[in-house]
Chain A
Amino acid sequence: MADTTHQAFDPLATGSRARQFRAKFTVYALLVFFALLYLSPLVIIFMNSFRPLEHIVREGFISSPRALSPQYWIEAWSTFCIGGNCEGVSRYFSNTLMMTVPATILSTAFGVVNGYALSKWRFKYDTWVFGLITLGVFLPAQMTLLPWAFVLGKIGLSNTIAGLVLVHTVQGISFTTLFCRNYFVAVPDDLIKAARIDGAGFWRIFRRIMLPLSPPILIVCVIWQFTGIWNEFLFGTVFTSGANQPITSAIVAFSGSGTGERHYNVEAASVIFAALPPLLVYVLGGKYFVRGLTSGAVK
């Protein structure tokens, strides 16, 4: 997984001067074009979260912004009515936060210990155990909806955040175990053997050897789980309702209702609230985000 250094040659530094210039120009022109295409939704929504409603209704979303005001953000956060509940998006934001943080911590903690046990303590059928856990990565959520609904009902967690924490933790452990196991496999076995000869046990080796090596994969797991659970929609919609729903469901609730007056500016601000935490995590932990993608996909 080491970063291989790139070949020490410049593909654009070939051919004549004019050809070099043309090539460079094409490359940057294309990059700018795609960058604008990728950024435009972000810019459009950000701009419209500050525009007066009558401007948006009159001119649409794509128009020069005038008379900007931050009041729609305040409205979106605290007084916006979503499905008859007028506490603003803050209610759903905190629901999602209360769901995401515990589920991220729990699934990551389990994943690290599982990954360590599966990679460094060989036992009979360990590959079967690992195979079973990783199957959870591929199982489509639709296969689990009815059983989960039944189980959550039986244990009294229907329509609760705690129920969603449970669902996301169980599902997330598959991912975190996969990530951590593949990461720990690269730790030399001799290190563990030496520690065992010195009389160190399972937990001691974990604390003294594995945990200090773990920060990179811990960050990958936390980022992956946080963004994944924060952005999740299906489980939230199926297992909770009304004021207990996560923010993704709340957005669908107001943007999907075709009737009544639309408050595009407040809706735009609400959408930004839903997008901001994972975006922040992405910008702050970009390198690890990419690493998670790469190891999650290729392995």
Chain B
Amino acid sequence: MPDHSQSKSSNRLARWTPQLVLIPTLAAAFMYVVVFSAWTLWISVSQSTLLPNMSYGGFGEYAALWKSKRWIVSYQNLFLFGALYVIGSLVVGTLLAILIDQRVRFESVWRTIFLYPLAISFIVTGTVWRWIFHPQTGVERALSDLGWLSANFDWITDRDMALYVVVFTGIWHASGFAMALILAGLRSVDGDLIKAAQIDGASMPRIYRRVVLPTIWPIFVAVTVVLLQFAIKTYDLVVALTQGGPGVATTVPAIVVYDLMFQRGQIAQGAAAAVMILVALAIVIVPYVIWTSWRARQEGPSHG
């Protein structure tokens, strides 16, 4: 912090420029992060129904929320979807990254193909895959037109299977992201390590499993945290793909929030549901942040 004023003419304004420049952003961030969160938190314990009523109403809406079947189903869906989506994206992403790591030709072409879904909105993704999954327009129709008349592929309209359609589509959208990060990790692994393992006669799959992948485990943690975040915030994809149905089979918390706030006029309960989403995110992110800063301290200031 060199604080040498060249001359008296370097006025106070110039000294305060960095802070002044940040004021609009700081005000916006404060409003957005602190005020808005506190506001929603307060609404969740207020007496609001269709319209905001800011007098205190207690935690009844949280209790009501956790008694509603729809919310419990949505939370269960979130767990199942989140787990399968994260594991699936990691598995497919790792596989693709390893394949591309084999010094293949046209590497950038493969990468571009596997990553492009990420540039497309969940709305477009969901709309297109719904057409593909729908029995009337998609795969089942194509199979029966090919002559397999008893072909049956109606997961998207099946209460028990519809969630797996969401999982599949989510993996299609996100595995390229996992691939990109894992590939970057693979490229940073010390080549000598692999050579040594090869000289020892280990086969390629074994080298990856035992030597390469274990050294980049922090990347897997990072990707998992990001994907869990995506999963918890999932909204658009389900709206476009299944609209939460059939019935409530694919309803997720974010959909319940929207419905409570803007369709059913239960603002307080909607806010309570939003707070629960925040809690879920915090459960994922706070330990990660603590862990990364702890690791950074362990490794010393030389690291990023």
Contact = CB atoms under 8 A, between A and B. Distances in A.
Interface of A: 3-4, 6-12, 14, 23-24, 27-28, 30-31, 34-35, 37-42, 44-45, 56, 59-63, 110, 113-114, 117-118, 121-123, 129, 132-133, 135-136, 138-148, 150, 170-171, 173-174, 177, 182, 185, 193, 196-197, 199, 201-203, 227, 230-234, 238, 248, 251-252, 255-256, 264, 267, 271, 274-275, 278-279, 281-283, 286, 289-290, 293-294, 297-299
A250 B92 CA distance: 32
A41 B139 CA distance: 12
B290 interface: no
The 6 nearest A-B residue pairs measured at CB:
A7-B191, A231-B121, A60-B141, A282-B119, A121-B18, A62-B142
Contacts of A4: 187-188
Nearest to B226: A297
B194 A7 contact: yes
A56 B34 CA distance: 51
Contacts of A294: 180-181, 184
Contacts of B114: 34-35, 38
B191 A117 contact: no
Contact of B267 (A6, A11, A146): A146
A173 B177 contact: no
Contact of B29 (A59, A133, A271): A133
B141 A62 contact: yes
B166 to A, nearest CB: 15
Contacts of A41: 125, 128-129, 132, 172
6 contacts: A60-B141, A139-B33, A203-B17, A233-B121, A282-B116, A294-B184
A27 B233 contact: no
Given A12-B102, A27-B99, A234 B33 contact: no
Interface string B111-125: 111111111111111
Contacts of B291: none
A61 B132 contact: yes
A4 B188 CA distance: 6
B217 interface: no
B204 interface: yes
B103 interface: yes
A275 B180 contact: no
A283 B136 contact: no
B128 A271 contact: yes
B131 to A, nearest CB: 5
Interface in B161-181: 172, 176-177, 180-181
A42 B113 CA distance: 11
Given A133-B25, A139-B33, A275 B132 contact: no
B78 interface: no
A271 B127 contact: yes
B19 A123 contact: yes
Contacts of A6: 103, 187, 191
Contacts of A140: 232-233, 254, 274, 277-278, 281
Contacts of A122: 1
Contacts of B21: 113-114, 117, 202
A44 B226 contact: no
Contacts of A148: 36
Given A41-B132, A110-B24, A294-B184, A60 B121 contact: no
A35 B119 contact: no
B239 A252 contact: yes
A156 B222 CA distance: 41
Residue of A12, A40, A139 most packed against chain B (CB within 10 A):
A139
A177 B25 contact: yes
A14 B191 contact: no
B181 A255 contact: no
Residue of B95, B119, B120, B190 most packed against chain A (CB within 10 A):
B119
A201 B278 contact: no
Interface stretch (B37-45, B55-63, B65-73): B37-45
Contacts of A203: 17
A251 B124 contact: yes
B249 interface: no
B96 A34 contact: yes
A142 B254 contact: yes
A147 B40 contact: yes
B119 A279 contact: yes
A202 to B, nearest CB: 4
A122 B3 CA distance: 11
A7 B25 contact: no
A9 B207 CA distance: 14
A201 B124 CA distance: 48
A290 B181 CA distance: 9
Contacts of A61: 131-132, 137-138, 141-142
Residue of A40, A141, A231 most packed against chain B (CB within 10 A):
A231
A208 to B, nearest CB: 15
Contacts of B10: 201
Contact of A199 (B6, B29, B33): B6
Contact of B195 (A7, A234, A256): A7
Given A3-B187, A233-B122, 12 more contacts: A14-B204, A28-B104, A35-B113, A60-B136, A61-B137, A63-B142, A139-B36, A146-B52, A278-B121, A279-B120, A290-B115, A297-B181
